[in-house]
Structure 1
Amino acid sequence: MSIYNKITAGFSLSAAEPVTSGIEDVIYIFNADDIALTYDTNNPLVITDLTATSSAKVYKFEGTNNSFNATSKLAKTQVGPRYTEEIDFNIAGLSVAVKAQLRAMGYGRVKAIVINNYKSGDSAIELFGAVNGLVLTDAERNAADETVEGGYKLKLTNPDKLREPYPPRALAIAHESGPVTYASTLAALEALAV
């Protein structure tokens, strides 16, 4: 009996480029239907292009002092592995505009891109919610919370019963006239950001 997938390589930790925890204090978020994803034909874990619709916008959320976090958790199901993806971040504000964005993230689906502090691998930039999107599941504001100065603590995660079939996808976008690099991927992302 053959198994569905087979491992094809090993790996070892590098002393020259040790793994670094955490993500940068920036998250790119966009409406799930606004950007089409192009996958590598040989590897479904790699996204090679982001194509925006005419009205699409990628919104950039910036924080400080390691205030953002991303998590991917494996869940074994009867039909195979699934992944719960979560992004925690803070918003230092409580204007009507902020509240409108929170409401939109709670009802609509978004996708989010994070930049890992570890830049030596081919997954330095990752997309969360590639298949099923993410929704805002927690938006907590404690006016007396000095850690976020009375702002909101937010959590984006998969909608109920809709985990992702793969771990977060790697973004690897080539420049028009060159190879795929961390810089070319970041430049393509920044070109879409508002």
Structure 2
Amino acid sequence: MPIYNKITAGFALGAASPITSGLEDVIYIFNEGDIALTFDTTNPLIVTGLTAVTDALVYKFTGTNNSFNSISKLTKTQVGPRYTEEIDFNIAGLSTEIKTQLMAMGYGRVRAITVNNYKSGDSAIELFGAVNGLILSEAERNAAEESIEGGYKLKLTNPDKLKEPFPPRAVSIAPQSGTATYASTLAALEALTV
């Protein structure tokens, strides 16, 4: 009887491109049902397409000074490994428009795309919440917090009891003709952005 999953490759950290921590100060968020995902037919860890359903958009949040962070944690369950995904970010503001968006992220499910500082691998751009989506699990505002000038500290994470079956997916989108690159993937994201 064959094993369900087998190790098929090794890896080594190269001196030519050492690993770099952190995310760029940008995150792309969209409603779970608004953007259809296309996966690589041979590797389900790679998203090869994002298609807007009707007039849906991807919303771009920008920050400064490393204000975004992502975490993926493996959890062993009775049916196999599952992953808890989290994204922490700040919003410098407290308008009613911001509060409306916070409420929408708390009740609805979203997906999020981050851009890693480390660009040498094929996961420079990653999708979180591919299967079960993410919800706003924390929204904290301390008016006296000087580091974010009284804005909101937010956390997106998987809904209760709905961990992801895969780690964050790599996003790699090819242009109309040619192969996928970092630039072509960012261009595809920006084309869907408000």
Q: Deviations over 1:161-190 (max 9, x none)?
A: 000000000001000021110000010000
1:145 matched residue in structure 2:
145
Q: Distance in 1 between matches of 2:184 and 2:62?
A: 21
Q: Does 2:65 match 1:59?
A: no
SS of 1:36's equivalent in the other structure is: strand
Structure 1 position 2, deviation (Å): 3.4
- 1:69 matched to 2:69: yes
CA deviation vs aligned residue, 1:146-172 (integer Å, no higher than 9, x gap):
011000000000000000000000001
* Aligned counterparts of 2:55 and 2:110: Cα–Cα separation in 1: 15
* Deviations, residues 112-166 of structure 1 (Å, cap 9, x unaligned): 0000000010000000000000000000000000011000000000000000000
Deviations for 1:65-92, whole angstroms, at most 9, x for unmatched residues?
0000000000000000000000000000
Q: Distance in 2 between matches of 1:16 and 1:160?
A: 41
Q: Secondary structure in 2 aligned to 1:104?
A: helix
For residues 128 and 23 of structure 1, the distance between their equivalents in structure 2, rounded to whole angstroms, comes to 13
Q: CA RMSD in A?
A: 0.6
Instruction: Give unpaired runs (5+ residues) of structure 1.
Output: none
Runs of 4+ residues over 6 Å off in structure 1: none
Paired residue secondary structure (1:106): helix
CA distance in 1, matches of 2:9, 2:113: 27
**Mapped partners of 1:100, 1:25: distance in 2:** 22
- Measure how far apart 1:44 and its partner are: 0.3
Count of aligned pairs: 194
Secondary structure at the aligned position of 2:44 is classed as: strand
Q: Which residue of 2 aligns with 1:161?
A: 161
Q: Give TM-score, length-normalised by structure 2.
A: 0.99
Alpha-carbon distance in 2 for matches of 1:91, 1:180: 32
Inter-partner Cα distance in structure 2 for 1:178 and 1:4 = 34
Amino acid aligned to 2:187: A
1:189 is aligned to: 189
- Equivalent residue for 1:94? 94
Alpha-carbon distance in 1 for matches of 2:10, 2:179: 25
Partner residue, 1:174? 174
Task: Report the residue type matching 2:97 in the other structure.
Answer: A
How much does 1:4 deviate? 1.4
Cα distance in structure 1, aligned partners of 2:7 and 2:83: 18
Residue identity in the other structure for 1:12 = A
Equivalent AA in structure 2 for residue 183 of structure 1: A
Determine the C-alpha separation between the residues in 1 that align with 2:145 and 2:107.
26
Alignment of 1:24-43 (within 5 A): 24-43=24-43
Other-structure match for 1:121: 121
Gaps of 5+ in 2: none
What is the SS of the residue equivalent to 1:75? strand
